[in-house]
Amino acid sequence: RFNDYGTLEELILGIRKYASFIDDIFIVVQNKSEVNISLDNIKIVEHHEIIPNNFLPTFNSCTIEMFIGNIKGLSEYFIYGNDDMFFINNVEESDFFDKGKLCLSLDNLSVDTMYQNVVKNSFSLFHAYIREFTLFIALYRAICSKGG
């Protein structure tokens, strides 16, 4: 969990190469000293800046995700991903957002793990009860894509 294998740098390079429309990248960490990156438009955010103290310390991604909306300077529309989610092909803003609305499809999501089933059920509930999406959470194989 705490070893650096250079994947964060690769993730950032992939964003810059394949998703150049992304302006700012926020990296949420327990302690800023954990990250040795000095690139333009990279903002390091510590857990205590967005998560109430009674939930700290935490390394639970669900807890961290609950408070992502507290990041200062985060756009109303954003793409969320973990450190193991890489862009490996070109994407456009229109792959995620269309005229200010979320572009999301679960049509091609096969349910072959419990996690994928949870994702599909969660987004089915979102579609049933929430008509307007103002944010995007990139989840495992759950984004619109060109050509599959």
Chain segment 73-130, per-residue pLDDT in tens: 988 778 888 877 888 889 888 888 877 776 665 555 555 677 677 777 776 766 665 5
Q: List the beta bridge partners of residue 46.
A: 29
**Residue 86 buriedness (CB in 10 A; 0-12 / 13-18 / 19+):** middle
More confident residue, 28 or 62: 28
Q: List the beta bridge partners of residue 112.
A: none
Would you call 98 helix, strand, or coil by DSSP?
strand
pLDDT band, residue 48 (cuts 50/70/90)? very high
pLDDT, position 144:
34
High-pLDDT (> 90) share of the chain, % = 22
Would you call 139 helix, strand, or coil by DSSP?
coil
- The rounded distance, in Å, linking the Cα atoms of 40 and 66 is 27
pLDDT, position 108:
55
